[in-house]
Structure 1
Amino acid sequence: METSTPNHPSFLERYGYAIKAIIIIIMTLVLLIPTTMIQEMIYERKGRQQEVTEEVSNRWSREQVLTGPVLAIPYRSEYRASTSYLYLLPEQLKVNGELLPEQLKRSIFSVAVYDAKLQLSGSFSMAALTKSGVPPSDLKWDQAAILIGISDLRGIDNQVQMQWNGKSYPFSPGVVSEDLFKSGIQSPVSINPADTNALAGTFSVQLGLKGSGRISFSPVGKTTMVNLSSSWTDPSFDEAFPPKKRRVDAKGFSAFWEIQDLNRNYPQCWSGNKYNIHSADFGIKLFMPAGGYQQSTRAIKYAILVIGLTFIIFYFIELSQRRSIHPLQYALIGLALCIFYSLLLSISEQLNFMTAYIISSVLTIGLISLYAASAYKSSRIAAGIGGTLALLYGFIYVIISAEDQSLLMGSLGLFLILAAIMYFSRNIKWDRLSNAKTEN
């Protein structure tokens, strides 16, 4: 066994600080295992939230896609034994409505649902029929029908009727064909093609529609105008067309879309299923701002940074103050840093993320500061460690909240941290550390 003398220090005495540095690095990497387990827990909880959303949506009504009205006219075809349909889209379509939002809770999870009160109005024109390629004599006008596509019929909460050319047309469930959409309502209309005003009159439909999460519209009008308002304060306009005008404030939102037929890739009139009528759908999502799982995932990605920098702080205190702490104490400090993410996840499920982050940070910083005060027997050192950790956790929160600028801020922050470490370690006489330890 190797012994030491004043002139010949032992291997551990000579390389003690270097060995401890290696142990700290290994310990930092090992502590990534519990953070990975916590990350898996986040994914599990997020999956559970999605299951609850699915359950509530199935009972209330799923997200809705509204398409129409569309005029479907059967015609004689030499190439098909079954009935073929010619589809005529409105010349103009206006949708005015209000979304009445509500949050349904299941356990600790909330799901955004709505009750939409919509008024559809507009008119048709025979001009587009000339471009269809179907001879007018082959059209069966007496068997025509108005179709409105609704993705989830369970959401309809009123008896839907259409007022058109002074007449009332009640709707019944189902569609005459699945060329355009698989789910919807229909109303037979008998049109006299000899009457030039048969399609020129305006129509109007009052529709109450329940749904969850999102409501979308198909721009079937040659000019489609949609005007929506709601008391929901966190809308997300995330589909094909952003609103032409919008207002979002503490009282809710209002949005107005105006879309022309040139903005989509299907014409005003065609037969069969040549085109995808949903290719240009647009709408709005009732965004749930309680994205605690996503932000917790972002926070835990910086775990190695937080653990590593905290260990560096304690290690530099050892070097500068000649006050050594045991590797087991490093392990306890590292576990406290890992428990921060468990606290953050559990508290953010009950409160908003910012409050959860503050509470978790205060508890973790307080625990480590008190432990440092006991280990170093110095309240001044403990206060310095607490203040540094507070700055570090504040920096991490700014990064995960920045989203689009997070990479830039993170890179600059890491550069400044590295520069600070290099600055404070510049005067350490690394070659004399073993001698100093031996002399002590």
Structure 2
Amino acid sequence: MIKNINDIAKTLGFKILIIVILGLLLLIPMSFINGVVRDRIRYQDEAVSSIIEPVGNSANIQGVVIAIPYLNRVIDSETKEISYIKKYIFYMPNEYNVEGNVEVSSLSRGIFKAPIFNSKLNIKGRFDKYNAEIFNLDENNNTILYDEAMLILGIGNKKNLMKLPNVSVNQNEEIQYYEKNINISLNMFSNKFLYTISRDKILNGFDFYITMDIQGGNSLIITPLASENTFKISSKWKDPSFTGGFLPTKREVNNDGFSAEWNIASFNTAFTKYWTSDENANRVSDNEYLRAGDENSNNVLVSFLLLNDNYQKTSRSVKYAILFIFIPFFVLFLCEVLSKKRIHPVQYILIGIANAVFYLLLLAISEHLIFNLSYFLSALMVTALTSIYIGYIIKSPKYTISMALVNALIYIFLFGILQLTDYALLMGTLGLFAVIALAMYFTRNVDWYGENN
């Protein structure tokens, strides 16, 4: 019969309650460790941004269009005065081909790295002759200014250009960059480069050739906007990612690099062939991006990956921290029951803290070594520390080996889960079930109420 507080403190039930409370309290520092992981991820993002921002971030080649100005005749309904407003007709090329070999390297800022690249892009295509019957502007008292027509080249960030693109038509006839600033509303292009184009080219159609020296970081983005689009991108970088709204029709990736080709028809793009500045036909694409939730849903996107997901794996591992706290506690409790050697709650706390420090060790070491080696070193250090400590407490090699074996098994189990992204939930659940089954097995003969004393 329990007579005083000391008798209560000696019962197994009270010890289990203390262990559960200690385990729950140790989840508090785990939340701080998770916060440290998030901070390091943020620092990494900031470092990567500081590396790629000077080269223009991702290089976005937005395409080419023809702009033909026209004077819209307006008569005031009250004064009957006649005025003219300059507006524009826009139309897309029939063919649009982009080809380039991308040279990628990595730059470091402290311990963080980011891929940067440069490339000479060869862009060619064809504009058919302007079809005046599309809008019948001549019949509506409008004056089309063919002599002021322009070819407009669009790019996401001017920093991506290493020099002014060279544009030529037909048989190597170079056309001039238009220095004058003209306010043309064309929302599909973030930055516009204007080139003069003659009346003859507009009325008869022409082939165009563009050479563009670009730089950037992380990814190359190309927008398909013609009736027929063909993109061919290659590089010696062996870890590409093909995303965006279109996957390559052909690809080859090996240790020597990659090559990929896209063939995209006009009905798969977000743009119309002809429109005017009065219309918002191709401005709809901006809304489509918002509805899709991805501004690259109508682009080809090639990313150059640095396969370093240490922070993501560490963050995922923290989610299983409760197992790394309670399983060693459970094993330590069994050692206490079976060896009849009392273990103080402070000693439970030290074991729990040692297992919590595993995540800080993993985070810190993985910033300098590959993740698998970092994981092995962190697990080895914590397993050796806790096992030797248990050996000193209980003074039995059997329990030292038992603790080392249990720690090794749970670290191996966690490592397996981190490699199985798609099956992590299944493996984690099965592992938890196995732990419960083992707990039932090893405690099946425990005299919880002391009735056999």
Does TM-score exceed 0.5, indicating one fold?
yes
Residue of 180, 186, 189 corresponding to 2:197 = 189
CA distance in 1, matches of 2:273, 2:354: 65
Normalising by the residue count of structure 2, what TM-score does the alignment of the two structures yield? 0.87
Matches within 5 A, 1:220-239: 220-239=225-244
How far did residue 18 of structure 1 move?
0.9
Relative to structure 2, which stretch is displaced further, 419-428 or 118-127? 419-428
Residue 237 of structure 1 deviates from its aligned partner by 2.0
What's the CA shift for 1:194?
A: 8.5
Partner of 1:115: 118
For residue 185 of structure 1, what is the amino acid of its counterpart? F
Q: Is the 8 A contact 1:64 1:211 kept in 2?
A: yes
Rate the CA distance shift 1:178–1:370 in 2: closer, same or farther, 3 A.
farther
Q: How does 1:100-179 map to 2 (within 5 A)?
A: 100-126=103-129, 130-132=133-135, 134-135=137-138, 138-166=143-171, 167-171=173-177, 177-179=184-186
Q: For residue 86 of structure 1, give the secondary structure of its aligned residue in structure 2.
A: strand
5 Å-filtered alignment, 1:336-375, equals 336-375=354-393
- SS of alignment partner, residue 54 of structure 1: helix
Equivalent residues of 1:128, 1:268 under 8 A apart? no
2:100 to 79, 87, 97: 97
Q: Select which of 296, 302, 326 maps to 2:344.
A: 326
Q: Is the 8 A contact 2:225 2:271 kept in 1?
A: no
**Residue in 2 that maps onto 1:31:** 26
The amino acid of 1:19's aligned partner reads: F
Deviation string, structure 1 residues 3-61 (Cα, Å, up to 9, x no partner): 68xxxx94344xx2111111111111111111111111112222122222222222222
Please state whether the residue corresponding to 2:72 is helix, strand or coil.
Answer: coil
**Aligned positions of 1:37-436 closer than 5 A:** 37-78=32-73, 82-126=85-129, 130-132=133-135, 134-135=137-138, 138-166=143-171, 167-171=173-177, 177-179=184-186, 180-192=188-200, 198-199=204-205, 201-272=206-277, 273-276=280-283, 279=289, 280-432=298-450, 436=453
Shift in CA distance, 348/222, structure 1 to aligned 2, threshold 3 Å: same
Cα distance, 1:193 vs structure 2:
6.8
Asked if 1 retains the 8 angstrom alpha-carbon contact of 2:225 and 2:269, the reply is no
Aligned to 2:77: none
The DSSP-based 3-state class of the residue aligned with 1:430 is coil
Contact 1:90 1:125 in 2 (8 A): yes
Q: Distance in 2 between matches of 1:125 and 1:86?
A: 14
RMSD: 2.4
Q: What residue identity is the alignment partner of 1:29?
A: L
Could you tell me whether the CA contact under 8 Å between 2:129 and 2:202 is conserved in 1?
Answer: no
Sort the Cα spacing of 1:413 and 1:178 in 2 relative to 1 into closer, same or farther, 3 A. farther
Q: Would the alpha carbon gap of residues 102 and 365 (structure 1) be closer, same or farther in structure 2, given more than 3 Å must change? A: same
Please state how far the C-alpha of 1:322 moved relative to its aligned partner: 2.3
Cα 1:346–1:10 shift into 2, 3 Å: closer
Q: Find the aligned partners of 2:320 and 2:157 in 1 and give their Cα distance.
A: 42
Q: Show structure 2 runs of 5+ residues with no match.
A: 75-82, 290-297
* Bigger mean CA offset, 367-376 vs 128-137: 128-137
Cα deviations by residue, 1:61-104 (Å, 9 ceiling, x for unpaired): 21121111211111222469653222111111111111111111
Mapped partners of 1:104, 1:344: distance in 2 = 24
- How many Å separate the matches in 1 of 2:119 and 2:132? 33
Distance 1:362 1:271, change over 3 A: same
1:356–1:194 Cα change, 3 Å: closer
Paired with 1:175 and 1:216, the residues of 2 have a C-alpha distance of 26
Instruction: Call closer, same or farther: CA 1:256–1:372 in 2, change over 3 Å.
Output: same
- Asked whether the 8 Å contact 1:175–1:185 carries over to 2, the reply is no
Alignment partners' CA distance in 2, 1:129 and 1:319: 93
Q: Shift of the alpha carbon at 1:413?
A: 2.0
Preserved contact between residue 175 and residue 184 of structure 1 (Cα < 8 Å): no
Look up the SS of the partner of 1:254 in the other structure.
Answer: strand
Per-residue Cα deviation, 1:119-143 (whole angstroms, up to 9, x for no partner): 1111112376644564597432211
In structure 1, distance between residues paired with 2:341 and 2:73: 96
Between the two proteins, the alignment pairs up a number of residues equal to 425
Give the aligned residue type for 1:228.
I
AA aligned opposite 1:148: L
TM-score when normalising by structure 1: 0.89
The Cα shift of 1:398 comes to 1.8
CA distance in 2, matches of 1:119, 1:155: 15
Q: Which amino acid letter does the alignment assign opposite residue 235 of structure 2?
A: S
Superposed displacement of residue 246, structure 1: 2.0
Moved more, 163-172 or 37-46: 163-172
- Structure 1 unaligned spans of 5+: none
**Comparing 68-77 and 169-178, the one that deviates more:** 169-178
Q: CA shift at 1:266, angstroms?
A: 2.1
